[in-house]
Amino acid sequence: MLNRFEAREKATAGFLEKAARELSVPPFALMMRAPLPLSYQLPDFRSTNPTPGVFERQTLEAIEQARAIQRRAVAFGHSSNPLPASRLDPGTLEQTAARFRRFLRLSDQRQYDCKDALEFYRLCRFEIERHGIFILHRSFPSVDGSGFCLADPPAPIICVNTMAQTAGRRLFTLAHELAHVTIGASGVSDPFIRKNDTEIICNKFAAALLAPKSLVSRVVTELRLDPNPSRVDIARVAKRLKISQQASVIRLEELQYVSAGTHRRWLTGINVSGDPDTETGGGGGGPTPQHKVKLARFGFSFAKVFGAALRDGALAPIDLYRLTGLKPKYQSAYFNFASLARYDDAEEE
């Protein structure tokens, strides 16, 4: 294909450099007779039979950076805490999710008292990272999924795609990727594309983790929810549960609080009016302090491990910059802030 393009368009060296950049390979790879072997390829769990996927440059860069962070964390001796389970059996998912909620200190009341989905997301992230799992934020094309995980012990990493995802949707992505870490299945996912058994079981776990039956029952009772709810009703449930609207309607139907087919009807409605779980605009207000922005992007586990390495001289500021893009002028402020920060101190730009 490249040869035909060159013959037709008289491709310049500049074009070849751009093409190589988009493919995340060195320019000479385009001239090789055999494909350049790739060192690491993540399965795409959005397919029926998950195999190594083909992703956009920004996604490939996010994956490679996460891999580099993981390798360096392991070299520093980091090890996450054992999770409450290492498998997810369909028949015991509710019980397993309940064990995880205790492990993460997510009581019904603590969740209910959160101001909104964003606060609950930050709380869940903090509690997961408290056990040594890395949670990174990166923005890459939404066509490449909602997030990915590198489940390899002893330093598993979850990366949440911040592109056009509301806090509620990020929350479900986070819980879904935690399920992938639990069963040791690294890969790229979109919780709302379910074409294989792994994604189905990870979704069911995420729903049970974020919306336990006891809390859903409380909200249904408080709102006197009709078995044939309107989209306004679904939005009210989601607001009380602090999760996305789609996750709410799926869970309500799963627990038989609403009639069969409610989720399908809800999907039909948003195809006309727009998806309420997708962000369509920016925020406002003044600039966010950079130490809070870095905390949102890299998280608490990263700050603990790499801040210690920097203080101990095991890592130089310029090496940390080359690894992550975190400029030396922001490093100390971020690491010092993260050591004392609360779960809700991380803020996006």
Would you state the torsion angle of the CA atoms of residues 219, 174, 134, 289, taken in this order, to the nearest 10 degrees? -80
Taking the C-alpha atoms of residue 238 and residue 94, their distance in angstroms, rounded to an integer, is: 20
pLDDT in tens, 220-241: 999 999 999 999 999 999 999 9
- pLDDT at 309 exceeding the cut of 60: yes
pLDDT in tens, 317-339: 999 999 999 999 999 999 999 99
Residue 256 C-alpha from the chain's centroid? 28
- pLDDT at 37 exceeding the cut of 70: no
Percentage of the chain surpassing pLDDT 70? 92
Residue 199 confidence (pLDDT): 96
Taking the C-alpha atoms of residue 74 and residue 155, their distance in angstroms, rounded to an integer, is: 6
pLDDT in tens, 257-288: 999 999 999 999 888 778 888 764 555 566 88
Cβ atoms of residues 36 and 25 within 8 Å: yes
* 157-161 and 147-150 strand pairing: antiparallel
Q: Mean pLDDT score of the chain, rounded to an integer? A: 91
Helix (H, G, I), strand (E, B) or coil at 258: coil
DSSP, res 257 = S
Taking the C-alpha atoms of residue 101 and residue 120, their distance in angstroms, rounded to an integer, is: 13
Residue 92 confidence (pLDDT): 96
pLDDT in tens, 157-211: 999 999 978 899 999 999 999 999 999 999 999 988 889 999 999 999 999 999 9
A 10 A CB-CB count for 93 gives 18
Cβ atoms of residues 258 and 249 within 8 Å: yes
Q: Which of 221, 245, 211 is nearest to 231 (CA)?
A: 245
- Per-residue DSSP letters for 3-22? HHHHHHH---HHHHHHHHHH
